[in-house]
Amino acid sequence: MMPIIAPSLLSANFLNLEAECNMLNESQADWYHLDVMDGRFVPNISFGPMIVEFFRKATTKVCDVHLMIEEPEKYAEQFKNAGADILSVHIEACRHLHRNIQQIKSLGMKAGVAVNPHTPVAALSDILHDIDLVCLMSVNPGFGGQKFIPYTLEKIKQLRKMVDERGLNVHIEIDGGVTMENAASIVAAGADVLVAGNTVFKSSDPIKTITKLKEL
Ligand code: DX5
Ligand code: ZN
């Protein structure tokens, strides 16, 4: 099965977002991966619902919004109104994760849970049947262009086993440091969604890079 490719716009040229979106729209990219950072949960600030709304207007592709923020329940509705299709919250930022997930679903979005490199996949055990996607961080969130943490491959295998044994339909998305070199092994381990920031946007031919990632 070919993986879903979700380029991370964090690495796009923000002086020319329209051209970047046109490029993605022409490409085989399946989703837009939109990284929201608050400067509290992660040591960086990116963009909020206003920018997501512009991306929404620029594409018919799935808008996959990755919230790296504290108190995501305060903003879920704004992201729905901005046009998010999938909304992921961090397990480490949610004291009442189950409630957060119910909120996202009741707003009519697909719900994802993102986990930092130190969080065991076992922590997802009792929420897995309630969600549509797990975003496994393969770097510490906050910045594009970091190096893939190899132990993630082990976590992908564990999670794939959990998902399949229970007959669930949960996407396993890998976020951070995905390259041409490691993408095949990530998919072989059981992931079905590849986020790629630098690999796509810093390549000399992003459209071709996306095709290659998809067909690896
Ligand atoms: C990191 C973000 C990622 C990031 C990926 O905090 O969640 O989505 O943009 O960028 P690359 O692919 O360059 O590691
Ligand atoms: Zn992300």
Q: 72 CB under 6 A from ligand 1?
A: no
pLDDT digits (tens, 9 = 90+) for 64-99: 999 999 999 999 999 999 999 999 999 999 999 999
Spell out which residues have Cβ within 5 A of ligand 2, the ion.
35, 66, 175
134 vs 90: CA distance, rounded Å: 10
> Which of 146, 173, 180, 199 is the best mutation target for the ligand 1 pocket, counting ligand atoms within 8 Å of the beta carbon and taking the most?
146
CA–centroid distance, 68 to ligand 2, in Å, is 8
> In whole angstroms, what is the distance from residue 108 CA to residue 157 CA?
30
- pLDDT-based confidence at residue 1 (cuts at 50, 70, 90): confident
Handedness of CA 203, 206, 210, 216 (dihedral sign): negative
Residue 172: pLDDT over 90: yes
Among this protein's residues, is 192 annotated catalytic?
Answer: no
pLDDT 10s digits, 8-64: 999 999 999 999 999 999 999 999 999 999 999 999 999 999 999 999 999 999 999
Q: What is the DSSP string of the chain?
A: -PPEEEEBGGGS-GGGHHHHHHHHHHSS--EEEEEEEBSSSSS-B---HHHHHHHHHH-SSEEEEEEE-S-GGGTHHHHHHHT-SEEEEEGGG-TTHHHHHHHHHHTT-EEEEEE-TTS-GGGGTTTGGG-SEEEEESS-TT-SSPPP-TTHHHHHHHHHHHHHHTT---EEEEES---TTTHHHHHHHT--EEEESHHHHTSS-HHHHHHHHHH-
User: What number is the average pLDDT over the span 186-197?
Assistant: 98
Q: Which of 30, 35, 38, 192 is catalytic?
A: 35
**Is 144 a pocket residue for ligand 1 (Cβ < 6 Å)?**
yes
Cα distance between residue 138 and residue 146, in whole Å: 9
In this prediction, residue 182 carries a pLDDT of: 98
Q: Is the CB of 140 under 6 A from ligand 1?
A: no
164 a catalytic residue: no
How many Å lie between the centroid of ligand 2 and the Cα of residue 197? 9
Confidence at 6, pLDDT banded by 50, 70, 90? very high
Mean pLDDT of the chain: 98
Cβ neighbours of 141 (radius 10 Å): 23
Any residues with CB less than 8 A from the CB of 100 and at least 6 apart, and which?
Answer: 72, 73, 76, 89, 94
Share above pLDDT 90 across residues of the chain, in percent, rounded to a whole number:
99
What percent of the chain shows pLDDT beyond 70?
Answer: 100
Distance of alpha carbon 20 from alpha carbon 16, whole angstroms: 7
What is d(CA 84, CA 194) in angstroms, rounded to the nearest whole number?
18
- CA contacts within 13 A on the Cβ side of 121: 22
At 162, the pLDDT band (50, 70, 90 cuts) reads very high
